Chain A
Amino acid sequence: MSRANTTSKPARGFRVPGLSLRRREAIEAWLMTSPTIIGFAIFFLGPLIAVMVYSMAEWNLLSRKMTFVGLANYTDALTVNADFWQVMGNSVIFAAGLVPLNMALALALALCLSRPFFGVVFFRTIFFAPVVTSAVAWAIVWKFLLQGEAGAVNQMLASVGIDGPNWLREPDWAMAAVIVTRVIKMVGLNMILYIAALQTIPRDYEEAARLEGATHWQVFKMVIWPLLAPTTLIIMVITTIGSFKVFDHIYLMTGGGPENGTLVLAFYIYQQAFEFFEVGYASALAIIMFVIVLALTLVQFALRRKQVR
């Protein structure tokens, strides 16, 4: 493939005689990817290594003292600080509540909206609208709507005779409220992924099943659902990873409360680093978060590879 004689072909890339084609290609490639490489080295690789280093130090910004303590931060988190396990519990509950709700709703909506009918575009637009809206705006509006007595939601419930709780101030309800509002915001995204997947299933299968006497439910359970399995798996992992990263939504709706009831991992890290200035500890937490997300992402990659085959 490489040729030393460059004079008999029109020059490609650098017109430097004596450089083989291969070499030129490589130089061009490195040049074209250099902004990416430099940028990522500075803003990702470096910080990643730094985080790993910091995580092994006892370092509070206010005290301006940094001492190496090995894995003490990790053991603190895992064994000493009760906070940590509450936060992990919250994160798991948040994910466990969000993912199934999101996926079920997304699938239900997709099933309704994957075939053309008058108004299908109208509905798809509506259900996807919160996705493009700023998370901050969405959180602010819902915080407003979910207020104790003055909130529109409770006032509407009151008009039907239901006494609504102070959604964001009561521990159990706060988590539920945060989950549900987040689901409403993001479900449109999974909905269109499901719609795309449903549209790749040939109509013939449904028609054949109908001809053989299957009810709509049977067609779904025995034909559509199995054929959606790869998409479902991937959406599940993506949504789970996404749920671990949620920060803005919770910060703005509940500030982590009540009583740290909605404090999730991403928020905890921010809090420890920028409100308590415990850089070392926050870094250890960050590494833990990294490991979790890494594991989930690897699962996603493995699934994707299986799907392609």
Chain B
Amino acid sequence: MTSLSLHNIKKAFGKTEVIRGVDLEIDDGEFVVFVGPSGCGKSTLLRMISGLEDVTSGDLFIGGRRVNEVQPAKRGVAMVFQSYALYPHLNVRDNMGFGLKVRGLKAAEIAARVGEAAETLQLGPLLDRFPRELSGGQRQRVAIGRAIVGNPDVFLFDEPLSNLDAELRVHMRAEIAALHKRLANTMVYVTHDQIEAMTLADKIVVLRAGQIEQVGTPRDLYNNPANVFVAQFIGSPKMNILPGAFVAERLSAAGIGVPDGKVVGMRPEHLHVAGEGDAVLNGRVVLAEYTGAGSLLHVDVGEGETILVTHEGQNEPAFGEAIALGIRPENVHILTPA
């Protein structure tokens, strides 16, 4: 039973407060992703869980045990670093067996465990190679193998895919997801890429400036963002945010009330070309970016506001054309401005 519990965790470097009171519950076997812009504190949070950084105040529980003062090696966690941190002077086998050797396990035991992990990750043929002879994806797998070998309770990933090219990232994402299915350990994953978050997570934690903005499943965050920040962070292209007054009239006609001071969010993929009667917005196409499957339209809707609309199919409106846009009522988000 390895759940994680964070109670009012705070972290300060000197006088600068980096984490400002984080409360979080992670269940056994969950795949949790910390996501947020640079500097939001997600890596710091991860490192506090690992023990590489101290907790300034608050309580950290792993598996029900308070671990604030516990050495990293004794917390039952393993970490995959962004740079993989593979020892260049050791081959793959010795890299993976390093932690076991340090802990004093017998050679036979080490070989057995390394062999097992190597099989799981298909690293067999690479065992005698050195890190400099491996490709990025292979190094990644070795780093994961090293983590597995210690039989940890919790896996920690610190932006593991950032150093890979786009194509490889897609492939490795799938491998990590498969790994989670197979091992069923609790996994905490840090990334700044919201697509990785959406595709991998059971639960996403959106962080900004050291605080949690929202916690929820990918669907929750997509369909019910709690505020403008989360709404625009999740989903690509970004959700369009318009002042309430802009569309209040037309929306109330459709039965949606827009209280004063609120803003209205509409995702580009939810807006469609509509007839005059159903239209919520009118505008003029100022840019049509052909993307292959469809187009990304930049539409000037007046008063200096330009919004994005994803258009499916090959017959997109032309530059300069006037278009009317509609949206299903359930896809309209009423949000408080930041």
Q: Which residues of A come within 8 Å of B, CB atoms?
A: 202, 204-205, 207-214, 218, 222-223, 226-227, 229
Cβ of A205 and Cβ of B102 under 8 Å apart? no
Q: Nearest chain-B residue to A207 (Cβ)?
A: B52
Q: In the complex, how many angstroms separate the beta carbon of A273 from the nearest chain B beta carbon?
A: 48
A205 touches which one: B52, B72, B73, B87 (CB < 8 A)?
B87
Segment of B76-84, B248-256, B324-332 in the binding face: B76-84
Q: In the complex, how many angstroms separate the beta carbon of A231 from the nearest chain B beta carbon?
A: 13
Q: Which residues of B contact A218 (CB under 8 A)?
A: 102
Q: Nearest chain-B residue to A211 (Cβ)?
A: B72
Q: Which residues of B contact A205 (CB under 8 A)?
A: 85, 87
Cβ of A213 and Cβ of B88 under 8 Å apart? no
Cβ of B89 and Cβ of A211 under 8 Å apart? no
Q: In the complex, how many angstroms separate the beta carbon of B253 from the nearest chain A beta carbon?
A: 58
Given contacts A222-B102, A223-B87, A226-B89, contact A210 B81 (CB under 8 A): no
Q: How far is the CA of A227 from the CA of B103 in the complex (A)?
A: 21
Q: Which residues of A contact B218 (CB under 8 A)?
A: none
* Other contacts beyond A208-B85, A210-B52, A212-B99: 15, CB < 8 A: A202-B83, A204-B83, A205-B87, A208-B81, A209-B102, A210-B73, A211-B52, A212-B73, A212-B146, A213-B102, A214-B99, A218-B102, A222-B101, A223-B87, A226-B89
Cβ of A210 and Cβ of B85 under 8 Å apart? no
Q: Nearest chain-A residue to B50 (Cβ)?
A: A211
Q: Which residues of A contact B103 (CB under 8 A)?
A: 212-213
Q: How far is the CA of A213 from the CA of B70 in the complex (A)?
A: 12
A207 touches which one: B81, B87, B98, B150 (CB < 8 A)?
B81
Q: In the complex, how many angstroms separate the beta carbon of B96 from the nearest chain A beta carbon?
A: 10
Q: How far is the CA of A162 from the CA of B103 in the complex (A)?
A: 45
Q: Which residues of A contact B89 (CB under 8 A)?
A: 226-227, 229
Q: Which residues of B contact A222 (CB under 8 A)?
A: 98, 101-102
Cβ of A227 and Cβ of B88 under 8 Å apart? yes
Q: Which residues of B contact A227 (CB under 8 A)?
A: 88-89
Q: Which of A202, A211, A229 has the largest number of chain B CB atoms within 10 A?
A: A211
Q: Nearest chain-A residue to B74 (Cβ)?
A: A213
- Does B145 reach chain A (CB closer than 8 Å)? no
Q: Which residues of A contact B85 (CB under 8 A)?
A: 202, 204-205, 207-208
Cβ of A211 and Cβ of B73 under 8 Å apart? yes
Q: Which residues of A contact B73 (CB under 8 A)?
A: 210-214
- Does B265 reach chain A (CB closer than 8 Å)? no
Q: In the complex, how many angstroms separate the beta carbon of A252 from the nearest chain B beta carbon?
A: 44
Q: Nearest chain-B residue to A218 (Cβ)?
A: B102
3 nearest CB pairs, A to B: A212-B99, A213-B73, A204-B85
Cβ of A211 and Cβ of B98 under 8 Å apart? no
Q: How far is the CA of A212 from the CA of B152 in the complex (A)?
A: 10
Q: Which residues of A contact B98 (CB under 8 A)?
A: 209, 212, 222
- Does B115 reach chain A (CB closer than 8 Å)? no
Q: In the complex, how many angstroms separate the beta carbon of A228 from the nearest chain B beta carbon?
A: 10
Cβ of A212 and Cβ of B150 under 8 Å apart? yes
- Does B41 reach chain A (CB closer than 8 Å)? no
Q: Nearest chain-B residue to A202 (Cβ)?
A: B83
Q: How far is the CA of A208 from the CA of B50 in the complex (A)?
A: 11
Q: Which residues of B contact A211 (CB under 8 A)?
A: 50-52, 72-73, 77-79, 99
Q: Which residues of B contact A229 (CB under 8 A)?
A: 89
Contact with A along B82-117 (1 / 0, CB 8 A): 010101110000000011011100000000000000
Q: How far is the CA of A212 from the CA of B75 in the complex (A)?
A: 10
Q: Nearest chain-B residue to A219 (Cβ)?
A: B102
Q: Which residues of A contact B99 (CB under 8 A)?
A: 211-214
Q: In the complex, how many angstroms separate the beta carbon of B157 from the nearest chain A beta carbon?
A: 13
Q: In the complex, how many angstroms separate the beta carbon of B151 from the nearest chain A beta carbon?
A: 12
Q: In the complex, how many angstroms separate the beta carbon of B158 from the nearest chain A beta carbon?
A: 10
Q: In the complex, how many angstroms separate the beta carbon of A111 from the nearest chain B beta carbon?
A: 18
Q: Nearest chain-B residue to A213 (Cβ)?
A: B73
Q: Which residues of A contact B50 (CB under 8 A)?
A: 211
Q: How far is the CA of A147 from the CA of B74 in the complex (A)?
A: 55
Q: How far is the CA of A227 from the CA of B85 in the complex (A)?
A: 13
Q: Which of B50, B77, B88 has the largest number of chain A CB atoms within 10 A?
A: B88
Q: Nearest chain-B residue to A229 (Cβ)?
A: B89
Q: Which residues of B contact A212 (CB under 8 A)?
A: 73, 98-99, 102-103, 146, 150
Cβ of B83 and Cβ of A210 under 8 Å apart? no
Cβ of A204 and Cβ of B150 under 8 Å apart? no
8 Å CB interface, B57-82 against A: 71-74, 77-79, 81
Q: How far is the CA of A214 from the CA of B74 in the complex (A)?
A: 11
Q: How far is the CA of A115 from the CA of B87 in the complex (A)?
A: 20
Q: In the complex, how many angstroms separate the beta carbon of B109 from the nearest chain A beta carbon?
A: 15
Q: Which residues of A contact B83 (CB under 8 A)?
A: 202, 204
Could you jot down 26 A-B contacts, CB within 8 Å? A204-B83, A205-B85, A205-B87, A207-B52, A207-B81, A207-B85, A208-B79, A209-B98, A210-B52, A210-B73, A211-B50, A211-B51, A211-B52, A212-B98, A212-B99, A212-B102, A212-B103, A212-B146, A213-B74, A213-B99, A213-B102, A214-B73, A214-B99, A222-B98, A227-B88, A229-B89
Q: How far is the CA of A229 from the CA of B87 in the complex (A)?
A: 14
Q: How far is the CA of A227 from the CA of B89 in the complex (A)?
A: 7
Q: In the complex, how many angstroms separate the beta carbon of B70 from the nearest chain A beta carbon?
A: 12
Q: How far is the CA of A208 from the CA of B78 in the complex (A)?
A: 9
